[in-house]
Amino acid sequence: MNKKGVALLIILVAVIAIIFSISTPKQTPKITADRTVPDFSLVDIESRQVRLSDLRGSVVFVNFWATWCGSCVEEIPSIEKLYRQLSENPQFKMVTILVKDDLQRASGFMKQNGYTFPVYLNTDESAAKFFGITGVPETFILDKKGLLRHKIIGPAEWDSPGVMENLQILFKEPYP
């Protein structure tokens, strides 16, 4: 390759590097255990808005799911049982967030199966970015102060005695 070809190649590589550095999106900081979760806004099936910060003082169960996800659908009965067991407890809040799904389809799915747990949309997907989800289902348990205490990737049996024991420990922790 002659000098002109080498110079052209260097310029081309430099231009490509500049383009990639400009177009690469900045990473959203991910949450690690015992870190406060940034605030974000959600909208429920009836278009009511709730902010994560509104739930401080309660242990918060955050589950990312979709109706098209087979393992999500498998774990939903245990999520419903957990919700029914703890829905009257003022120290517990459940937040299930639809991921790349249709709210109307999810609403129909909930009604058809008799599920009553709350379902939310996070239209700007900031919650999924903050939590760093890689797929669904993924679940996060926050303590009363809003600190991430547990992260579970994949389906789980949410109405199991072990889950209830862990939640009871969090319920007993003081809140300012």
Domain assignment of residue 20, yes or no: no
8 A C-beta contact, residue 156 and residue 78: yes
Number of domains in the chain: 1
CATH of the domain at 43: 3.40.30.10
Structural domain boundaries, residue 104: 30-172
Q: Would you place residue 45 in the very low, low, confident or very high pLDDT band (cuts 50, 70, 90)? A: confident
**Cα 51 to Cα 2: distance, rounded to the nearest angstrom:** 62
Side chain identity at residue 32, one-letter code: T
**Cα 65 to Cα 43: distance, rounded to the nearest angstrom:** 15
The structure's pTM equals 0.81
Average pLDDT over every residue of 26-42:
67
Which one-letter DSSP state was computed for residue 152? Answer: E
Domain assignment of residue 57, yes or no: yes
Domain assignment of residue 147, yes or no: yes
Q: Is the pLDDT score of 28 beyond 90? A: no
pLDDT, tens digit, for every residue of 84-126? Answer: 999 999 999 999 999 999 888 999 999 999 999 999 999 899 9
Tell me the C-alpha to C-alpha distance, in Å, between residue 70 and each of 65, 74, 77, 91, 113: 10, 6, 13, 30, 15
Domain assignment of residue 103, yes or no: yes
Domain assignment of residue 14, yes or no: no
The two three-digit tokens of residue 160, written as one number: 């199991």
Domain assignment of residue 19, yes or no: no
8 A C-beta contact, residue 108 and residue 134: no
